[in-house]
Amino acid sequence: MIKILFICHGNICRSTMAEFVMKDIVNKQGLWDEFHIESSATHTDEIWNGVGSPVYPPAVEKLREHGIGTRDNELGLSKKRARLTVKGDYERFDFIIGMDSANIRNLHRLFGNDPEGKIYKMLDFTDRDGDVADPWYTGNFDATWRDVSEGCHGLFRTILSDPVFAAKLQNSFSSKEWDDEEEEERGLIHDDFPRG
């Protein structure tokens, strides 16, 4: 199983959008059982007495606008609550992806740097540098959607291009029964899968 953790400051906008975009990608590829995907916060701003806030409503609206979190494609969005990133997350996840430079600094501090090379910035998986636009300050959920969607699709391509992870996924597909039409549509070619 490939385990991915997306992280931002409060875990109600950017990292949560990334979590559900990635869940949508793997679900549409028929790889739901091969991935474990979560998101978390670097700060407790959205966690009160141990209870996390739900996903910020405008973020939910933007996801639903793209068919994610709808009745037909809920993926657990309505149950998502903010949670704090903890030191043990480093061992639990294969990819730990911060949304901006401040997140990356906080993760290095929490985890004692990155001895296994698991920490990335979301836009590392795109052809652009920089940070994912923070809609909490900008109000621009379109820019955040673009950043997160491009980053998640780039991450998925990276996973499919990595020999170790690609072998795990290929084994998953090999164990399934496919007819000829399904064989063509299953989308394992790394640049041939649903885009946001």
Q: Name every residue whose Cβ is closer than 8 Å to that of residue 136 and which is 6 or more positions away in sequence.
A: 9, 10, 13, 56
Element (H, E) at 101: helix 101-111
Instruction: Report the catalytic residues.
Output: 8, 14, 134
How many angstroms separate the CA atoms of 128 and 144, rounded?
Answer: 14
3-state secondary structure of 120: strand
Alpha carbon 66 to chain centroid distance? Answer: 15
Q: Nearest-CA neighbor of 19 among 80, 61, 86?
A: 80
- Count CA atoms closer than 13 A to 161's CA, side-chain side: 10
Could you count the other beta carbons within 10 Å of the beta carbon of residue 166? 14
